[in-house]
Structure 1
């Protein structure tokens, strides 16, 4: 009986302990993020406080219940938020734990007198710089990209890449969420600027929440904060039609609520507008492809020259359709499922004419070419991203991407009066899969593991009719070039992070297996192989193991980052003529030092030594035809390309006084490199890349500044660069030629507002390029100048108009100058979501554009046709 009584007492004590040892925990947030130091209390039904605590710096709180919860209430409050209360008896316990997250609303207080002050143009919040768009817009902005171009410290490149304080942004977030991934130009080129409340530039951004405070990050992102009232569902639709059968249309919408965030877009036009992340009309690479450039198969066959010094809306003769859907769903409490879908098709046309004068040692060759180009690309891509963050110390994600494209290109060419019909077909398929996981061991330690697999192939064919004669007698004829690159990549990566107050340490280990293969064959008019010297069948395999420790030390005035990457490579190359196998061990150092002169200014120094293997497009020896007159080949050498890189920069950013100044000096020294040996005659050009241990050096200096002078009510911007580079090549069996190239550019902008009704902006661009061949005493110089003047006039509250004039002198040594005139007037009725626009483009009706360029061995005069003058009427409807 005594033992039975003791057992009952132990059981009662155990049950009592179980009941009263329940844990309540959660996170407190508001519209701006986490809420630190909020008061958390437990009260009984008589409002008596039984327990209390406060949230920590990350908004997290924890309480251990000391009393039965049936009659208890949990209340959270701060001085600036409305209090929130929950009845604990109505909540379900799981494993003796209650997870209760709170979202607090701002406290509304009635005041006797309210003084409204104008929001400052820029506000600093720790690592976040917040722009008030109303302080920078003039009414001509239509999409987010137009706004970003006017914000100090932000620069938009030609391919849509956005830089913040000189660094390329990693993401563009929408209300804090990454909706677009690498293709953020979908948002920047298409989201209506009227939806944006604020733009935030965030430094030291860490995407992985478990690594905040542990991992050292120098990434920068932009966050677009949407206006209140625009966050349920809103959108924009524009339809336009003009003379000469010109049309333009877009339909876009944004949906944001607690569960879903989405952006959808459909656009079509034939006025040169490109609202997509893709560019098939130039050599500009999309952001997605830049990010994965080393994992994609190479394109060898040329697909036409559609480049121009002019903006797309002057010369890009297109027939474009694009649709995109981007959604992010909160499927569980802390998990999300993201889908990005895109479909693109276009038809591009161009008429090019060129006259090239080739300067050789013993002769001068003149080449006249005319090309009637037509390109029809079609592309589909799909991205799926699932992120699981249900556990406080363990997160994982899965990312899958598929991209498939088809391109049909036709060129009716005249090569010194030989007319040929050239047809290129390119099919590309890429797939990529990533699995990433993060384990947070403690507040100062974490482990990240990732698995990455990609596979892609790129078959191409070029058919030429009549065939191109390769030899002088016309016995070897090139009629059908077949080429296919395939690439497969598998990597396993592990990273261990440790942090302390001033030190952060990481060690990265990775293993990857990269397999490349190339098959190519050049056939004659009878579909027979011309010969083994025009055929390739090779496999190139790299197995890599590396260990990369990184140490970061931060002080108030200075910081250092030191990395040593120990690398082991196992190389295997096989083709019909030879087999090469190599192993190598080496160390690659990288050093960064930053000294903060004051809160606005810093000095930065970077040094790195790289040893890079030649890529697969330099590892084939069989000759490949790339166009109706161009052929390429290589000398195969599995040698590491070495580069010593130095940079020293001074940066001053004082955004509150709207002042910034940056100057950077760079130097690259390459002890060895690949060089070009070129043979040119009237009919064909053959280029062979060869490896040599010849030193090349590059020097560069860039200066950028921006200043608002209040007395003049004017903002001034200057971006300039000077580059000096040394290179070598061989031309038509000459000796090795030493070439010095000097390149100077300057871009000056002045923008002034007058009486809030008139804004005048002027942009001037100057380019001076000079090539000099030392031994041949050949000096080739090229200069150009452009000037754009934009006048925005707001005659009434609901009417605004802008006039844009572009003066272009493509060659200052000649009188071939151009002037383009565009005009637009917009009318928005009072209390209406409609805007009516009348647009006139190329009103001076320029029909062709001629430029002159120079190289180390030639001068070229080229021209192309333009989109001729048109007038268009547009209606824009917001909903």
Structure 2
């Protein structure tokens, strides 16, 4: 009980001292130097950073005659420490003169202006040595930095791990929505990229160390600091008149305030809404948690998009977005961060497909020609406050609002009849996170987390379908309406006590949560309510969760990690109520050596409840020809699985070489499966719970910078073998076995010559065995880019994409970049799809379904852009 009182008040019985002074080197002030004060037991009493004059000041609570150590460090300088004994004077003056540091790390010589600089947990990479002046955005720059990867959805990985945050000059502006920054900020403003290992945003939790998170910090060119900067881009098609590209960057980066406004409009297939995610739940037993729940979407209308080709080759859309973000220090210990955005995608997508369902007693064939039109908006705002009351109390408040209205008009020729679908959806989300971190004494930290939120999704669907109308025995042109409202509201409080001793780290935590979910469906056939397809269910869950985590260091290299969570869930629905006890555990061993890398062996056991949609007792229309329902008047079973994973990761002292390998096996107990019935016109899915199958996963990745030829290379393979039960037009479940294989080889050169190139070769394979039939699909694609610097002002780049499918496809794009010397203007010509590939066809055979699909491709065009930088 006494620990919860610390959430509201803090008592201090020690005398307060203030330590102040200046930090210099060769009579020059050092700003942003780290100053840490430790007591005799190496517990942190306070910390700060020097200002632009090299001055620092730290208030501490300590006793007279107590021995303290003041430690000062800064990038490029030798660390310096001094130990003093406190007197009864409240003001202590202590200045430091630091020496510049030059050292050798695995033949990487630290100089003033070096390519790669390593200091403790920070790797600094100068961007000018790894770019070729054709990069347009920060993401383009990051793609060329050794050790950093960009996944297809824009997620950034550094040293093989997904980054926690993307910082700008040490501060966070966009939190989890960092793709708004990476995909839109001008890449030319960057001076360096820093990989921050062992990253921890919470200064009190940072004192405990042992963070496994990674962040990336963007350093701007010095001439752009403390002034307004930005660029304006105007572009128009010169061959295809309907091509446009406009963008605007405005920024102000100062020590106390950082502000960015980013805007973009294009119709080249790059979606604005894809840069914004819906929610970001996370769980870390040793750090801060984040709970965000989502309401379930019911109705789905397939856009007919192709995922094999890139968006700029196959997506027909108009995209606009604008975002404003800032981070300001209201006081030295109080900061405010805010981000707001508006994104709009208007997409028109045509496609043609034929499908064969290889089911008993005879195969079923149908065709589908779609004219799909989408209007998708995303509007949101986030405010975050951070307040450091003193060295023992740290508060964070994070308030998030999101709105996602969406309209779909889907005109379909299904077999020989027309079907019209009009869908109007809206999604409101509100999340609130309040954190208080309190350092009790020694290495004990109490983290209190209060959260609440709501997510409401409404869907209004109108369908005119002769097949549905025949099914409901009404006129062929009659209208069917479906109105769905799904809402989830929740609140909770969680406290955890984190204790760290010499060889032991222990966490004990408790969470109390209450949530209410409502699923309502009104189904009108010819303006008459059909009760057989109406659903009105409420679910309530009250839960108490207990966490226990334990880490023990047998040696400096060898550690034990054990985590157990017990969840007592009182579940109540319209059909039943029951108290569930769910157990989740994660236990493993870690051996971490600088010479051999990190080895991990883990076993996990997981118990969960199915989605509440499993209790929907009447059919819901989930597409214009598909129905789905749950289990009728039955309680939810507990789903469970267990897995064992062996992994190894090794990275050299720099980013030049790393390998990662993992092998895992998962055995599923009871799982949520589907009983599927396919007719000539409809698909019916019933929820079922059966014994699950098992799966094996193997991943290997090798990243290497070959110094002799100045090339960064990557070799990667992913192998997944899955056995799962399936039931389609049959009386019993049978196992379907599938092997998914991916092979990737890539390389990027950094030659000190006028030319450079990069390439990627990817092959995806799938093999499926179902009943007595076997199927396989192989897709191979290669991407190659060659750039040539004709002189200091003119750069040419050729990009080729090759696809080997049922047919072979070749795309050739060219970019011409002209940047006059001492000019604020630059010019770029984009020539897209020079071979004018205009239609894509592919056939695939998966599970029991054979599909042939055809979509149009973006025709050849030329786009001229002019960019003005200020």
Which residue, out of 683, 686, 689, partners 1:685? 683
Matching residue of 2:497: 496
Identify if the C-alpha distance between structure 1 residues 360 and 781 changes in structure 2 by more than 3 Å, giving closer, same or farther.
Answer: same
Matching residue of 1:876: 867
Residues 23-32 or 551-560, more deviating:
23-32
Unpaired segments ≥5 residues, structure 2 = 1-14, 24-29, 39-43, 50-56, 63-71, 78-87, 102-108, 284-289
Matching residue of 1:253: 250
Which residue, out of 578, 583, 604, partners 1:608? 604
Q: Output one character per residue of 1:734-773: Cα deviation in whole Å (capped at 9) or x when no partner.
A: 4312100011111111334555111122211111111111
Distance in 2 between the 1:64 and 1:573 partners? 54
Aligned alpha-carbon RMSD (Å): 3.2
Distance in 1 between the 2:857 and 2:282 partners? 29
Matching residue of 2:559: 559
Distance in 2 between the 1:745 and 1:861 partners? 22
Matching residue of 2:34: 34
Q: Output one character per residue of 1:501-542: Cα deviation in whole Å (capped at 9) or x when no partner.
A: 2222221211111211100122212x112332x121111112
Q: Output one character per residue of 1:808-841: Cα deviation in whole Å (capped at 9) or x when no partner.
A: 12x3xx3x21111100000110111211111111
| Deviation at residue 685 of structure 1 after TM alignment | 1.4
Q: Output one character per residue of 1:204-240: Cα deviation in whole Å (capped at 9) or x when no partner.
A: 2221101223364222211112221212222122111
Q: Aligned to 1:346, what secondary structure does the other structure show?
A: strand
Q: Aligned to 2:447, what secondary structure does the other structure show?
A: strand
Q: Does the 8 Å contact 1:231/1:254 carry over to 2? A: no
Is 2:720 the counterpart of 1:726? no
Residues 150-159 or 760-769, more deviating:
150-159
Q: Does the 8 Å contact 2:336/2:384 carry over to 1? A: yes
Matching residue of 1:756: 753
Q: Aligned to 1:298, what secondary structure does the other structure show?
A: coil
Q: Does the 8 Å contact 2:713/2:747 carry over to 1? A: yes
Which structure is larger by alpha-carbon Rg, 1 or 2? 1
Matching residue of 1:528: 528
Matching residue of 1:314: 313
Distance in 1 between the 2:629 and 2:529 partners? 17
Q: Does the 8 Å contact 2:292/2:453 carry over to 1? A: no
Count of paired positions: 799
Distance in 2 between the 1:603 and 1:407 partners? 47
Identify if the C-alpha distance between structure 1 residues 513 and 79 changes in structure 2 by more than 3 Å, giving closer, same or farther.
Answer: closer
Distance in 2 between the 1:388 and 1:253 partners? 28
Q: Output one character per residue of 1:61-93: Cα deviation in whole Å (capped at 9) or x when no partner.
A: 67999xxxxxxxxxx999999xxxxxxxxxxxx
Q: Does the 8 Å contact 1:121/1:132 carry over to 2? A: yes
Is 2:115 the counterpart of 1:121? yes
| Deviation at residue 789 of structure 1 after TM alignment | 1.6
Q: Aligned to 1:218, what secondary structure does the other structure show?
A: coil
Question: Where do 1:485-634 residues align within 5 Å?
Answer: 485-525=486-526, 527-532=527-532, 534-554=533-553, 555-574=555-574, 579-599=575-595, 601-634=597-630
Q: Does the 8 Å contact 1:806/1:819 carry over to 2? A: yes
Distance in 2 between the 1:55 and 1:490 partners? 35
| Deviation at residue 621 of structure 1 after TM alignment | 2.2
Q: Aligned to 1:146, what secondary structure does the other structure show?
A: helix
TM-score normalised to the size of structure 2? 0.86
Question: Where do 1:847-866 residues align within 5 Å?
Answer: 847-866=838-857
Question: Where do 1:110-149 residues align within 5 Å?
Answer: 119-149=113-143
Matching residue of 2:772: 777
| Deviation at residue 55 of structure 1 after TM alignment | 11
Q: Does the 8 Å contact 2:177/2:275 carry over to 1? A: no
Identify if the C-alpha distance between structure 1 residues 389 and 277 changes in structure 2 by more than 3 Å, giving closer, same or farther.
Answer: farther
Question: Where do 1:184-223 residues align within 5 Å?
Answer: 184-214=178-208, 216-223=210-217
Q: Does the 8 Å contact 2:272/2:319 carry over to 1? A: no
| Deviation at residue 268 of structure 1 after TM alignment | 0.8
Is 2:266 the counterpart of 1:265? no
Matching residue of 1:699: 696
Unpaired segments ≥5 residues, structure 1 = 1-20, 39-53, 66-75, 82-94, 109-114, 280-284
| Deviation at residue 178 of structure 1 after TM alignment | 1.4
Distance in 1 between the 2:298 and 2:74 partners? 64
Matching residue of 1:298: 296
Identify if the C-alpha distance between structure 1 residues 872 and 28 changes in structure 2 by more than 3 Å, giving closer, same or farther.
Answer: same
| Deviation at residue 396 of structure 1 after TM alignment | 1.4
| Deviation at residue 484 of structure 1 after TM alignment | 1.0
Distance in 2 between the 1:835 and 1:535 partners? 60
Q: Does the 8 Å contact 1:132/1:198 carry over to 2? A: yes
Identify if the C-alpha distance between structure 1 residues 642 and 472 changes in structure 2 by more than 3 Å, giving closer, same or farther.
Answer: same
Identify if the C-alpha distance between structure 1 residues 98 and 301 changes in structure 2 by more than 3 Å, giving closer, same or farther.
Answer: farther
| Deviation at residue 471 of structure 1 after TM alignment | 6.3
Q: Aligned to 1:367, what secondary structure does the other structure show?
A: strand
Question: Where do 1:326-365 residues align within 5 Å?
Answer: 326-365=325-364
Identify if the C-alpha distance between structure 1 residues 164 and 605 changes in structure 2 by more than 3 Å, giving closer, same or farther.
Answer: farther
Identify if the C-alpha distance between structure 1 residues 116 and 549 changes in structure 2 by more than 3 Å, giving closer, same or farther.
Answer: closer
Distance in 2 between the 1:345 and 1:446 partners? 44
Q: Does the 8 Å contact 1:852/1:862 carry over to 2? A: yes
Distance in 2 between the 1:494 and 1:567 partners? 15
Distance in 2 between the 1:275 and 1:624 partners? 31
Identify if the C-alpha distance between structure 1 residues 218 and 782 changes in structure 2 by more than 3 Å, giving closer, same or farther.
Answer: same
| Deviation at residue 356 of structure 1 after TM alignment | 0.7
Is 2:232 the counterpart of 1:237? yes
Identify if the C-alpha distance between structure 1 residues 289 and 346 changes in structure 2 by more than 3 Å, giving closer, same or farther.
Answer: farther
Matching residue of 1:399: 398
Matching residue of 2:424: 425
Identify if the C-alpha distance between structure 1 residues 826 and 428 changes in structure 2 by more than 3 Å, giving closer, same or farther.
Answer: same
Q: Does the 8 Å contact 1:794/1:800 carry over to 2? A: yes
Q: Aligned to 2:404, what secondary structure does the other structure show?
A: strand
Distance in 2 between the 1:416 and 1:80 partners? 70
Matching residue of 1:798: 793
Q: Does the 8 Å contact 2:279/2:292 carry over to 1? A: no
Q: Does the 8 Å contact 1:37/1:56 carry over to 2? A: yes
Q: Does the 8 Å contact 1:215/1:499 carry over to 2? A: no
Is 2:818 the counterpart of 1:827? yes
Identify if the C-alpha distance between structure 1 residues 657 and 397 changes in structure 2 by more than 3 Å, giving closer, same or farther.
Answer: closer
Residues 27-36 or 755-764, more deviating:
27-36
| Deviation at residue 254 of structure 1 after TM alignment | 2.1
Is 2:160 the counterpart of 1:166? yes
Q: Aligned to 1:618, what secondary structure does the other structure show?
A: helix
Q: Does the 8 Å contact 1:467/1:478 carry over to 2? A: no
Distance in 1 between the 2:678 and 2:491 partners? 41
Q: Output one character per residue of 1:561-594: Cα deviation in whole Å (capped at 9) or x when no partner.
A: 21111221111111xxxx2111123432212322
| Deviation at residue 144 of structure 1 after TM alignment | 1.5
Matching residue of 1:390: 389
Identify if the C-alpha distance between structure 1 residues 498 and 293 changes in structure 2 by more than 3 Å, giving closer, same or farther.
Answer: closer
Matching residue of 1:16: none
Q: Aligned to 2:313, what secondary structure does the other structure show?
A: helix
| Deviation at residue 152 of structure 1 after TM alignment | 2.8
TM-score normalised to the size of structure 1? 0.85
Q: Aligned to 1:347, what secondary structure does the other structure show?
A: strand
Q: Does the 8 Å contact 2:306/2:855 carry over to 1? A: no
Identify if the C-alpha distance between structure 1 residues 781 and 26 changes in structure 2 by more than 3 Å, giving closer, same or farther.
Answer: same
| Deviation at residue 549 of structure 1 after TM alignment | 1.6
Distance in 1 between the 2:519 and 2:136 partners? 46
Matching residue of 1:674: 672
Distance in 2 between the 1:28 and 1:596 partners? 39
